[in-house]
Amino acid sequence: MDRRRRNRNDKRTQELQTTISQAFQSHLFNHLYPRSTISISLHVLSLDGALLVACLNAASLALVDAGIPMPSILAAISSGSITPADDSSARPEPILDLNLAEEQELPFLSLATVAGRQGEEDKVSVLVMESRISIGGSNNKMESMLATGVDGCAQVRKKMEDVIRKHGAKIMQSRR
């Protein structure tokens, strides 16, 4: 594939900036920093799909590392749907974490959730779908992709929390 250099005025870049900014503006405890600016700078070194998802997860981890308080970690994942080619009446199979080739061929959505309070379900914070699918009918792809994506976000959040705890324990150990 050809590499295309994107500048700051590129429409896709501006959409990503807006989505990421809105996701974290509503998620962070901004009232604790009334006269401050929290700036998130992301540099993509390699891309094999799920650009928005990678940016949201990286920004969430960077904010935790910087000590910015938030109610929970914002975790993101991409979810798609495969319909078996040999049987048109078969139920669509939802899949997680699509690569670039799968994003170009399959219907998919990018989803980010935050953990709900004790006993509550996770809350969807970001939902972006750039492909067309039929919503009605018995084989509802959208519903299966969304349900699988929410479960996937919970798994990603658990992994992120484990890594943060290990990193925090390592830092505390080095200070002793």
Q: What is the pLDDT of residues 21-48, one digit of tens each?
A: 999 988 888 888 888 888 889 988 888 8
Contacts of 27 (CB under 8 A, 6+ apart): 70, 71, 74, 114, 125
5 in a structural domain? no
Q: Is 4 among the domain residues?
A: no
Q: Is residue 30 part of a domain?
A: yes
Boundaries of domain holding 115: 11-175
Domain count, the chain: 1
Q: What is the pLDDT of residue 130?
A: 80
What amino acid occupies position 50?
Answer: A
Asked if residue 139 is part of any domain, the answer here is yes
Distance CA 54, CA 37 (A): 23
Q: Is residue 106 situated within a structural domain? A: yes
Tens digit of each residue's pLDDT (9 = 90 or more) over 102-147: 888 888 999 999 987 777 888 999 999 887 776 666 557 788 888 9
CATH number at residue 160: 3.30.230.70
Query: What length is written for the chain?
Result: 176
